[in-house]
């Protein structure tokens, strides 16, 4: 079933590339689709994983990598914190199943974020649990980078969340 999903995803991206001339428009469409999926997928994730409430952004990033990615894509990215404030994290994907059948992007599609759907899914799911975040691809093996890296920046400070509960 994973191969069918990957092939279907590839066909979706190819169709979007036919419909939109600009890579930015394809990237935005993939992000919107992912966001919509993420807002619905979070219910399934919470029901099936039986996870406890995360107390920090680092716990949330670890939960995304160790539970969600494993559950839905069969991989476990590594997590690194990339800010002193503790609100910016990177998910490093050693393997990205969405690109199993993709060798490289065509030269005319150099700014295409082929897997931008993932960013939307993460952003949508986080928003449904009241965590506003910016999610972007920082590096992409399809673009010649050494690794595939997704950056997550939580937009509120942890103390803002605690203050609102009191």
- pLDDT tens digits, residue range 81-114? 878 888 999 999 998 999 988 888 888 999 999 9
The yes-or-no verdict on residue 46 having pLDDT over 50 is: yes
80 located within any domain = yes
Establish if 100 belongs to a structural domain. yes
Mean pLDDT of 19-29: 97
Residue 160 has pLDDT above 80, yes or no: no
Evaluate whether residue 19 is within a structural domain: yes
C-beta separation of 48 from 64 below 8 A: no
Listed residue (96, 67, 62) closest to 78, CA to CA: 62
Q: Is residue 150 part of a domain?
A: yes
Q: Which residues contact 86 (CB under 8 A, 6 or more apart)?
A: 56, 57, 58, 158
Residue 34 in tokens: 């992912």
Residue 35: give the domain boundaries: 2-154
CATH number where 15 lies: 3.30.1380.20
2 or 115, which is more confident: 115
| Angle between helices 23-49 and 2-19 in degrees, nearest 10 | 150
pLDDT at residue 3, rounded to an integer: 85
- Burial of residue 141 (CB within 10 Å: 0-12, 13-18, 19+) is middle
What pTM did the predictor assign?
A: 0.90
Give yes or no for residue 163 having a pLDDT over 50. no
Q: How many domains does the chain have?
A: 1
Domain contains 126: yes
Over residues 24-41, mean pLDDT: 97
For residue 31, the tally of other CB atoms under 10 A from its CB is 21
**pLDDT reading at 161 higher than 80:** no
Sheet of 148-154: strands edge to edge?
A: 78-81, 88-93, 148-154, 133-139
For the cut 60, the answer to whether the pLDDT of residue 164 exceeds it is no
pLDDT score, position 165:
47
């Amino acid at each position: 079933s994973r191969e069918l999903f990957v092939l279907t995803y590839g066909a979706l991206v190819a169709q979007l590339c036919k419909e939109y001339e600009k890579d930015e428009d394809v990237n935005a469409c993939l992000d919107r689709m992912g966001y919509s999926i993420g807002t619905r997928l979070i219910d399934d994730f919470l029901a099936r994983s039986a996870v406890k409430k995360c107390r920090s952004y680092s716990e949330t990033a670890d939960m995304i990598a160790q539970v969600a990615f494993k559950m839905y894509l069969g991989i476990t990215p590594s997590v690194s914190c990339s800010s002193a404030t503790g609100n910016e994290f990177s998910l490093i994907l050693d393997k990205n199943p969405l690109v199993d059948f993709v060798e490289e992007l065509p030269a005319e599609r150099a700014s295409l974020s082929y897997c931008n759907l993932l960013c939307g899914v993460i952003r949508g799911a986080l928003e449904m649990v009241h965590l506003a975040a910016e999610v972007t691809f920082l590096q992409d093996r399809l673009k010649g980078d050494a690794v595939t890296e997704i950056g997550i920046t939580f937009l509120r400070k942890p103390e803002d969340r605690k203050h609102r509960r009191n």
